[in-house]
Structure 1
Amino acid sequence: MRTSSILFGVMAALAMTVSQAFAADPALTIVFAGNTYGYYDPCPTCGAQKLGGLAKRSTYLKALRQNPATAGKILAVAGAWEFLPEVSSAPPEPEKMPAVVKAHEALGYDVMAVTPDEVKLLADKKAAPPKGAVVLDQAPTAKIVTIGGKAVGLVFFPMPRDVSAPVPDKLMDQTARAASELRGKVALVVGISPWGALDEETFVNTRGGAVDVLLGSGGGSGFSSRTSKDGKTLWTRAYIKGKTVNRLDLLALPGQPGFAWKVGENFVAKVDPLDETVTQDPAVEQLF
């Protein structure tokens, strides 16, 4: 009982802090994590703070879901590369993968993307991908979810045969076409990419406005937000090892002629560190 009371108090304080940081009432809030690489505990190489961990991510998400400003309006997305580094053969503790799968399931994402290599890794450890996860294919796939009464189109970028080589133009064109087929059906088109920063930058600047928001993972630096040259695509990239959560508060959605993303005017972006101010969710922590 005491543990539950403490957790509730911390979550309430976190929710209040989040509310103060984002005073405007968002139309939609996107919470994104990727490139976790199989880390489930706070990062052991991140200094004294021990940033990250799935148990802290769970507390963070619960607080947002309880916050009146964002409750019912959150699109929580995870992946790709939540289980496996794209440039390495194994996560830090491969034998923990079944428990890591259960932890990700407990977080209740709206969307999760996993790569074929991650599926193979999990199978080797006698684990299946988290329930409802989308396995990236060699062609783009799309689905529609409803968040806060708004239809959101999701485009899962295809998995290149060689992640170390530039993504072929053909795959970029296929992905842009998959996104265009969602237009008129949804209020927002969100791309979920495992490609890495260089190919994502090429995509947003050469396939103008193909997606409204791009959630990027794979090689390259993480950042809170950038926009394409034409302002039509809002782009955020995950940091590594699960140390942080990327948050986009969309204060307005595209639809009006001439719409372009402008920070502080129609969106606010932030990278929230999962530091000592965020407690571990006991229900997730006990899985390990």
Structure 2
Amino acid sequence: MARRATVLERFRREPVPTLTLVGADEFSPDTELPDPAKTGDASPKTVRAVYDALHVDCGMLSAASAAWFGAARPRNFVEVGGRPITKRFHVGGVPVAVILFPPLSAGGTAETETPTPKLLASVLAAADAASDAAIRIGISPWGFEGEFAVREALEQRYHLLLGGGPGAAFAGEVNAQVPGLIWSRADKDGRSVMIIDIMALPEPDMSFAWEWGLSMQAQEVRLTSAIPSDPHMEALLPKASSR
């Protein structure tokens, strides 16, 4: 977390507006086999203090994570239930819509690794309702298989798909079959930060294709020992845990 704080602060110092998003499977209660390394013995108040210090603009909470935090949920984190939730931002004067996707189990038990037609229809409708936004970003907990299955349906309605759940991690992909969608998947173990640069905005009401190095680029910043720990974050943990 201290290295992540260093990376985020470096990018915020650049003369480019930033939007910091946290997706699915960020917290131990989200995983089938909870990883103590993610939260250890820390209390919800401790974990909230750490994430508040990261200055996240929008984050996703599953029902399990929301229950674990209780009233101490981190600032700007939203519990997502059976329906998509849309949060709106102005980033450097550009209107951006961030749409948080419901889990595959929304409305019942997830029997497959892909969303039902009803679930897919709900996130497409959410994008249509935010069609005035210059950039529409979907945050998904559906896993690689679920996201792969629907990416063609999402394209042109969504400009970015930030995936989570089971499957491989990668900073950004623009596929020839879906050139209007940047697909990025987070490292579920929290070992890196995915940075996506938007260098040119899509034209409204026109079919759009991203071009790597011209209108977008993406990179994975690995949180190795080469990145120094943020001293404020390091100092925050013992202070928060002693309260």
- TM-score by length of structure 2 reads 0.87
Specify the code of the residue in structure 2 equivalent to 1:223.
F
Specify the code of the residue in structure 1 equivalent to 2:143.
G
Please list, as runs of the form range in 1=range in 2, the aligned pairs for 1:120-131 lying within 5 A after superposition.
Answer: 120-123=67-70, 128-131=72-75
Report the aligned-residue RMSD.
1.8
The alpha carbon displacement at 1:277 in A equals 2.3
Q: In the alignment, is residue 82 of structure 1 matched against residue 26 of structure 2?
A: yes
Name the CA distance, whole Å, in 1 between partners of 2:30 and 2:148: 18
1:96 to 5, 27, 42: 42
Name the CA distance, whole Å, in 2 between partners of 1:150 and 1:195: 28
1:145 to 68, 86, 89: 89
Specify the code of the residue in structure 2 equivalent to 1:78.
V
For 1:169, the equivalent position in structure 2 comes to 117
Specify the code of the residue in structure 2 equivalent to 1:235.
W
Name the CA distance, whole Å, in 1 between partners of 2:40 and 2:13: 34
Is 1:217–1:238's contact at 8 Å kept on the other side of the alignment? yes
1:246 to 190, 194, 218: 194
The alpha carbon displacement at 1:114 in A equals 1.0
For 1:17, the equivalent position in structure 2 comes to none
SS of match in other structure, 2:66? helix
Is 1:81–1:194's contact at 8 Å kept on the other side of the alignment? yes
SS of match in other structure, 1:280? coil
2:152 to 196, 202, 205: 205
The alpha carbon displacement at 1:132 in A equals 2.0
For 1:106, the equivalent position in structure 2 comes to 53
Q: In the alignment, is residue 221 of structure 1 matched against residue 221 of structure 2?
A: no
SS of match in other structure, 1:215? strand
SS of match in other structure, 1:62? helix
- TM-score by length of structure 1 reads 0.74
CA spacing shift, 1:85–1:238, aligned 2, 3 Å: farther
For 1:57, the equivalent position in structure 2 comes to 4
For 2:217, the equivalent position in structure 1 comes to 268
CA spacing shift, 1:191–1:66, aligned 2, 3 Å: same
In structure 2, list runs of 5 or more residues that go unmatched.
239-243
Is 1:81–1:118's contact at 8 Å kept on the other side of the alignment? no
Count matched residues: 228
Identity of aligned residues (%): 29
